[in-house]
Amino acid sequence: MIGYFKSSNPVNFVFLLVYAFVLRWHSIIFPHIPVPQATDGFLYVKLLSFLEPVGNALPLIYPLIAIVLTVLQAVILNNRIVNEKLLTKQNYLPALTYLFITSLFPEWWQLSSALIINSLMVWVWGMLTRLYNNPRPKSVVFNAGMVVSIASFLYFPALGLLLLIFSALIIFRPFQISEWLVAILGLLTPYYFLFAFLFLGNNWNPLIFLPAVSISVPEFPAFQQDWWRLVAVVLLIIPFFISGFLIQGNILRMLIQVRKSWSLMLFYLIICILIPFINFTSAFEYWILCALPFAAFHSYTFFYTSKKWVQETLHWLIVAFILSLNLWMTLLETEG
């Protein structure tokens, strides 16, 4: 099956849609109504309020929105990776692996602020990879800073993604303090207009939009008793480690810009792993921010692994696990 997605045949988009619905059939039968968390931003809260009348009458709208967003993100990520030559051939593997990864945990089937942010970040990552030899780097980092700032309106700890912009400046550009300041200026600009609107509207209360920041390292009791999560983490990590060995083996044959892009993708993953520890809540849904960089590394594993049986084994193990998880969740809902 992996062989089909190694080509650029447009029919693969139809396969992607089939995978998207089959791998999440539980969420369609038992739709989850999202509830804003303490760390969610005001823009996400307003979005849920806007959807509430329709959602109460037709809860199916929430998983459908989540599936549509996931498929669009998968396709855009696929185009970014192919256009930046991170893989040497046109294919649909990044899109496929993104669908796999976002289906490994039930919390990632749901509509959430972090899922929406992935739509913004796949765009930001594409912008940042073009900093190499870019004649107008300041406009790129300014726009990237603005997008990250808007992402914080959905999920406040997303401000930590500013580190991704700084990482890109370190990797792709010689140090110039003006470019770093422009990135910060881009981050502050949406807040400037927001606070100006509040002030002019006699509704000045900035603390609502600037919650206190805390960092904690919580325990995960669910992982101690939930074998489903442990298996999902293993299926997430194994292809990632394989890709690490493959990238190291091919690194001398890569163009300089491609090497730097993979380095930025690794920093992206590390930053996304750490962000949910800011103003931590028990919700696991925010780690879906890691799905984009994980998908890139997984696609490298599927594309460059020389043994076809390894590719197919990983593919069918992941599919079998996700379908079993759907069945298990359905049985729990039925018994409950």
φ, ψ for residue 278, nearest 5 deg:
-80, 125
Percent of the chain at pLDDT exceeding 70: 90
- Mean predicted lDDT score pLDDT of the chain: 87
DSSP, res 40:
B
Tell me the pLDDT band of 216, cut-offs 50, 70 and 90. Answer: low
Q: What is the mean pLDDT of residues 20-48?
A: 89
DSSP, res 105:
S
CA–CA gap between residue 69 and residue 107 (Å, rounded): 15
Cβ-based neighbour number of residue 307 at 10 Å: 8
DSSP, res 184:
H
Looking at the chain, list the stretches that DSSP marks H as alpha helix, in order from N- to C-terminal side.
2-5, 11-22, 25-29, 42-57, 61-83, 93-101, 113-128, 137-154, 162-172, 177-200, 221-225, 227-250, 256-274, 291-304, 308-335
Determine the Cα angle at 330 with ends 327 and 336, to 5°. Answer: 145
Q: What is the mean pLDDT of residues 170-183?
A: 91
CA–CA gap between residue 198 and residue 57 (Å, rounded): 33
Query: What does the radius of gyration of the chain's CA atoms come to, in whole angstroms?
Result: 20
Is the pLDDT assigned to residue 228 strictly greater than 90? no
Is the Cβ–Cβ distance between 278 and 215 less than 8 Å?
yes
Is the Cβ–Cβ distance between 275 and 161 less than 8 Å?
yes
Each domain of the chain, given as residue ranges in start order, spans 2-210+226-335
Tell me the pLDDT band of 212, cut-offs 50, 70 and 90. Answer: low
Q: What is the pLDDT of residue 61?
A: 94
CA–CA gap between residue 56 and residue 54 (Å, rounded): 6
DSSP, res 215:
B
Is the pLDDT assigned to residue 272 strictly greater than 70? yes
Q: What is the pLDDT of residue 224?
A: 47
Is the pLDDT assigned to residue 221 strictly greater than 50? no
CA–CA gap between residue 36 and residue 300 (Å, rounded): 35
Distances (CA, A) of 68 to 21, 34, 245: 10, 16, 33
Cβ-based neighbour number of residue 48 at 10 Å: 17
Tell me the pLDDT band of 252, cut-offs 50, 70 and 90. Answer: confident
Q: What is the pLDDT of residue 217?
A: 61
